[in-house]
Amino acid sequence: MSEITEQNAAGYSADSIQVLEGLEAVRKRPAMYIGDIGIKGLHHLVWEVVDNSIDEALAGHCTDITVEINENNSITVTDNGRGIPTGVIAKYGKSALEVVLTVLHAGGKFDKDSYKVSGGLHGVGVSCVNALSTDMKVTVYSHGKVHQQEYKKGIPQYDVKEIGESEIHGTKVQFLPDDSIFTSSEYKYETIANRLRELSFLNKGIRITLQDHREVDADGKSEIETFHSEGGLREFVEYVDSTRERLIPRPLYMESDKGPIPVEVAMLYNTSYSENVFSYVNNINTVEGGTHVAGFRRALTRTLKSYADKSGMLEKLKMEVTGDDFREGLTAVISVKVQEPQFEGQTKTKLGNSDVMGAVDQVVGEMLNTYLEENPKEAKIIVQKVILAAQARNAARKAREMVQRKNVLSGSGLPGKLADCSESDPEKCEIYLVEGDSAGGSAKQGRDRKYHAILPLRGKILNVEKAQEHRIYENDEIKNMITALGVSFGTEEGEKVLNLTKLRYHKVIIMTDADIDGSHIRTLILTFFFRYMRALIDGGHVYIAQPPLYLVKRGKEEKYCWTEEQREVAVKELAKDGKEDSVGIQRYKGLGEMNPEQLWSTTMDPEKRSLKQVSVESAAEADHLFSMLMGDEVAPRRDFIEKNARYAKIDI
C-alpha cells in the first residue's frame, strides 16, 4: 500500500486518497469484486455508489440522496455532501476525482480521520462501478465550482475540467452497466426500494428519494418514493412487525454512542412462533450474524432468565429454558458501527471482531434490566411467552425425533409417493416438488429418470406462519419433504440448525400450476423453507420451475410462450397473411394439461428450461412480506395485491 502524506489529518482533500492498485482485473474477473454478474451483481453497482453518499451522511455532511432509474436502465445518484475532492495529487499529477474513479482501492475510507466509520470499507467502490460501465459521468459541486469527468469502461475521456459555477455542493454520478458483462441489464424497482428503505431506517434523519423514469402515469409523471425515518430502528422493527399481533405496546430501544463502538438495538415481541433478528455493521447486512448478534443473545438470555427466576414464574416448569425460548416471537434489529470490521464466514457477512460482543452485551443487558424493572406488566407477558415457548420446543423436539426415528426404523424411510432418481451423487440430482397426482404422473413419465426425482404433494401444505412448530412435523406433506430431502434438525452452540450434510438433491425445484392455486401452494412451500429450512435457500438449492403459459399453433407450427408479450409476438409471426383468427391459442392452467413430452421439452429439460433461483436479498423485507402474505391481517394483503395488480393476470 503506498500512502500519501497528510497535510491536514482532519480535513478531506486530494491528499486523503490512498492508492493500492489498478483496475485491470475488474473487467476480467468481475464476480471477484461484486459477487456475480447476474441480477445481484447488477444491483451491487447501485449499492457501491449509494454507500459513498451514505458515508458522507455518517460523517455529518449529507442530508439528501436521490437515486434515479433512467429510461435506458442507467442509474443516477445525487447527494448534497461535500463533493469528491478535485484537487491534484502531486504523486500522480492527476485530479483526486480521477484517481478515485480509476484506481482500485483508492478512497478516503482508508484514512480514519476522513471517515470514522464507513460501509464501503473495501475501497473498490465507484472505481469498480466505473470499470463495469460502458459510460459514466461524474459531476462535482464544491467550493462554488462545478467539475466534471466522463469515462468509458473505466477510461477517462478527458481530464477533469471545470464546467461552471454553483453555490450548491455534492456529487452526481451517472452510470450505464456494461451489458456485455452482465447477464441481466434491467433494474428491479422493488429491489432498490427495499434497500433504500432499509438504509433510511439504519440512518435516521437522512432523506432518500427513488424515482423510476421507465414508467409514467397518464399525467406523464414517473413513480417516485421518499424514504425518511426519524425513529430509526424503532420504526424498522414496527415496519417488519406491522402485520403481526404485538405482545408489548412499544418497541424496546437501546442506544449507546459511548466508547469506540456505537450500538443501537430495537426489539419487539409478537404472538408468532418465529425469531427474527436482523443485524448490521456499518449498514452492511450481516446475514450470518457474528459477535454483535452473539452479544445481544447472551445479554437477552442472561437478563431475562435472571428476571424470570426472581419472579418465581419458572418454578412449576418441568424443563430447563434455553436461549431459543427467550427468542420465540422476537423481532430485533441490531446495528453497530465499527472502525475496522473483520468479516468471516462463507459469504464474508459474519462479523468477527471479538470486542463488539462485550459492547453489545453491556448495552442490551443494562437497558433490558431497567425496562423489566420499570414495566412489570410487560415483563410478565414476556416471561409467560417464554414458558409457552419452552413447552412448545419440547413438543417440537419429540415430533422431529419421531420423523427422524421413523426414517431409521423403516429402512430407507423414503415417502411411498417419491419417484426417486438412479444417480447417487447429490450434486447431480434434482427433486421436483409437484402439485397433485395428475401433474406428478406427467412429470414422472417425462423426466430423466437418472437425475430427476418427483415428489407429488397432495393439496395445500400447512401454513407454517400460523402454526406452532410441533404441528408442522405432524403434517404429512411436510414430513414427506423432510424425509425425501434427507435433511435433519440439530443444535449447535445452543442454536437450532438444519443439517444439510445428507441432503439428497442439490436442486430442489418447486413446480406448480400457473394459476392462483398454484401460486398459493408455491408461497406455502417457500414460507416453510424460509422459516424452517433457511439454509436450503441460502445454499442456493431452491428453484422455481417456469412452465409456459401458452401454446400458439397454426397448422404444424407451434410456439410456446411464457409471457403475454411473447404470445402477442407469436400470434403475429404465425399469422403471416395477417389473419390472426386462424391461429390457435391454448392457455395452460395446469401442468396436467401437458403431455409428458411437452412438460419435458418446455419445463424439465436442462438444455431448454428456465429456472428461477430463490434467494433472500433482504431478510427483513422477506420476513415482512411472508408475515403479511401468510398472516391473519387482511388489509395489508389487499393493499399489496392492489399495488402489484399490474403484474397479475386474473383468469375468468
Query: Which residues are tagged catalytic?
Result: 435, 513, 515, 517
Question: Cα torsion for 13, 15, 19, 24, to the nearest 10°?
Answer: 60
Task: Give me the half-sphere count of Cα atoms (radius 13 Å) on the Cβ side of residue 231.
Answer: 11
Cβ-contact 271, 382 below 8 angstroms: no
Cβ-contact 108, 126 below 8 angstroms: no
Cβ-contact 219, 188 below 8 angstroms: no
CA distance 331 to 314: 23
Pairing of strands 276-281, 550-554: unpaired
Per-residue b/e over 98-123, b at no fewer than 16 CB within 10 Å? bbbbbbbbbbbbbbeebbebbbbbbb
Task: Give the closest residue to 88 by CA, choosing from 35, 164, 161.
Answer: 161
Q: Which residue has the cell 418447486?
A: 510
CA distance 104 to 89: 16
Q: How far does Cα 560 stand from its chain's mean position?
A: 32
Q: How far does Cα 368 stand from its chain's mean position?
A: 29
Task: Give the closest residue to 434 by CA, choosing from 442, 422, 426.
Answer: 442
Q: What H or E segment, with its residue span, contains residue 453?
A: strand 452-457
Q: How many C-beta atoms lie closer than 10 Å to residue 509's C-beta? A: 23
CA distances from 103 to 50, 159, 296, 454, 651 (A): 19, 15, 39, 51, 54
CA distance 160 to 149: 5
What is the DSSP secondary structure assignment for residue 221, as one 8-state letter? P
Instruction: Look at residue 225 and give its three-state secondary structure.
Output: strand
